[in-house]
Structure 1
Amino acid sequence: MMTKHLTLAGLLAGFTSLPAWAQSIDPQGLEIIGKPVDGLMGFQPGVTELATDLQWLDGMILVIISVITVFVTALILWVAFRYNAKRNPTPASFTHHTPVEIAWTVVPIVILVAIGAWSLPILFRQQEIPVADVTIKAIGNQWYWSYEYVDDDFGFDSYMIGAPALGGENMKTPEVIAQLEAAGYSESEWLLATDTAVVVPVNKTIVMQVTGSDVIHAWTIPAFGVKQDAVPGRLAQLWFKAEKEGVFFGQCSELCGQAHAYMPITVKVVSEAEYAQWLSRAKEEYAGIVPTVTVASAD
């Protein structure tokens, strides 16, 4: 029932006043950090401990497998050159070489144990959900995300700017560019920016409860190092603590139907003061909770 209310609210807001609505609840002026860039290779800047750990692990394993690949390739080439029929017309007939057999058994075991010793703590750190400062429920729908701020009793839907549900055609038209600019984005953020963003405070532990309402989706933010399937009927969790303010983009990462490519994720990481202001406005906008005003006493 709540999802239906959220969907209706999102559609009405999107059709009637998208730019003003988005600006009224989202802090502006943030640096866009986590986004794909054409022509570049490598990871997006990691702004959480999870992301930096994963990127370090990837680099470390890349070094190990590169050394192994170079060594094995060089060994094959050397054997092919040294022991071909022309250079070695009478091949040796032995079948065992104990030191070599011990080496090719022990060395891989040592390498695998080392990789496990480095990777398992990183995996456990991802899976051990800490106590949350902010808990948000993310619900994957075809083809948009619904968010519920569990501790504050409000929620909203998040559509890609230019999506058909908001009167668009999944095309970069002048109207869509105008909507992007009105929401504080540029033309290069088309297919990435949403009409409403998840807003979280910097340096606080955020726990996302992830599920789906129809088919399997996946909530993914590369710069945070998080990715979790949203499975209907199941409630999974992930966590992150962003260490830098800015705007970060992600995508649904499970093929979920015809418009799978058009359900991006936008997260804005702001200061605690900006988050408190946004939270007060969001409660009033979505839950009808009027902010209380504290009046100082006369004495």
Structure 2
Amino acid sequence: MRVTRSIFAAMASLWAAGAAVAQEQSVLPGQPYDWQMGLQEPMSPIEYQIQWFSNYTLAFIIPITILVAALLAWVIFRYRAGRNPVPSRTSHNTTIEVVWTLAPVIVLLFLAVPSFQLLTAQYNPPSEPELTVKTTGYQWYWGYEYQPTEASAEAAAEPVSFESYPLLDDDREAMGKADRNAYPHLLAVDNEMVVPVDTVIRLISTSADVIHSFALPSMGVKVDAVPGRLNEYWFEALREGMFYGQCSELCGQSHYNMPIAVRVVSKEQFAEWYAAASESLEDANALLTARIQSGDSVAVAGR
């Protein structure tokens, strides 16, 4: 009993310490933080559904775990050798067998229906995608290629493409990314993937060498990047900001340092960035960062 109390006391202290650390931090929406206990804040419709299904599943898992643990404890206590010197010779019980067959079937049906609904939603966007971005995994960085759409065709006739490398500490000051809260260690990159808010985006994932995985937790995105194969997914960012992910498939010695950074901006800001990026990515990123930091409004290119 004392050991059990000590374990629960230690867990409570750990939880309290984590909560205190989280409160002291300036946590940005949709970003991870130290001592985080739950999932990241959802920033897309799919991630909302994923977290709902997670909580829904826990509503079954927790009672079942408690029931099984209680039954085991009761059997250990009630049918131990000290209380039953002569073991029971019962071979079967029809009622119990019917119950433990039907109960799991019913539980699985309650889990299967919303599971299939979520799976269907993940691969069927609510509308035709307005933007297509091809992501290519390399050892150990990402490449992005924007396919021209009706919204961007006037801004640039050719697709915009670039590589995104992990941000080195020596380059932070020069790139205006010294704030480690906004640009965390091992998550910040030199060139973010820029996308517009409230826009259905088609994501095409592949790899140029080994298997990678494009994962963006706050957007509910996790797509394998397989050499010679194109995997398709979609997401829609519900608010502006910077959101991070990482390669989630072991791909070599620098797998830990293969971050994903997505900057979500207004549609007007994206149109201006896209037009500038077709000529100079560095100038486009510098202008976008400056406008965001200053809070100035951005006019649509060409107006």
Q: Aligned partner of 1:200: which letter?
A: V
Which residue of the partner structure matches residue 177 of structure 2? 183
**Of residues 137, 145, 155 in structure 1, which corresponds to 2:161?**
155
Matched-pair identity in %:
40
Rate the CA distance shift 1:54–1:135 in 2: closer, same or farther, 3 A.
same
2:193 pairs with 1:198: yes
8 Å Cα contact 1:131-1:205 kept in structure 2:
yes
CA distance in 2, matches of 1:293, 1:277: 9
1:139–1:213 contact (8 Å) kept in structure 2 = yes
227-236 or 151-160, which deviates more: 151-160
Whole-angstrom distance in 2 between the partners of 1:83 and 1:141 = 59
In the alignment, the residues of structure 1 paired with residue 256 and residue 77 of structure 2 have an alpha-carbon distance, to the nearest angstrom, of 51
Q: Choose between structure 1 and 2 for higher RCO, CA contacts under 8 A separated by at least 6 residues.
A: 1
1:160 is matched by which residue type in structure 2? Answer: P
Counterpart check, 1:144 vs 2:141: yes
Runs of 4+ in structure 1 over 4 Å off:
291-294
**TM-score, with normalisation over the residues of structure 2?**
0.76
> CA RMSD for the aligned pairs?
2.4
Deviation at 1:72, TM superposition (A): 1.0
Q: Do structure 1's residue 135 and structure 2's residue 158 form an aligned pair?
A: no
| Counterpart in the other structure of 1:124 | 120
Comparing 252-261 with 235-244, greater Cα deviation is found at 252-261
Give the Cα separation in 2 of the matches to 1:269 and 1:292. 18
Query: What is the deviation of 1:255?
Result: 1.6
Q: Aligned letter for 2:268?
A: A
Deviates more, 1:98-107 or 1:63-72: 63-72
Paired position in structure 2 for 1:11: none
Give the TM-score of the pair, scaled to structure 1.
0.77
Q: How many positions carry a matched residue from both structures?
A: 250
Query: Following TM superposition, by how much is the alpha carbon of 1:82 offset from its aligned partner in structure 2, in angstroms?
Result: 2.2
Correspondence 1:80 to 2:86? no
Judging changes above 3 Å, is the alpha-carbon distance between structure 1 residues 142 and 56 closer, same or farther for their aligned structure 2 residues? same
* Residue ranges of structure 1 left out of the alignment (5+ in a row): 1-30, 163-171, 295-299
SS of match in other structure, 1:284? coil
Q: 1:22-41 alignment to 2 at 5 Å?
A: 32-41=28-37
CA distance in 2, matches of 1:293, 1:177: 32
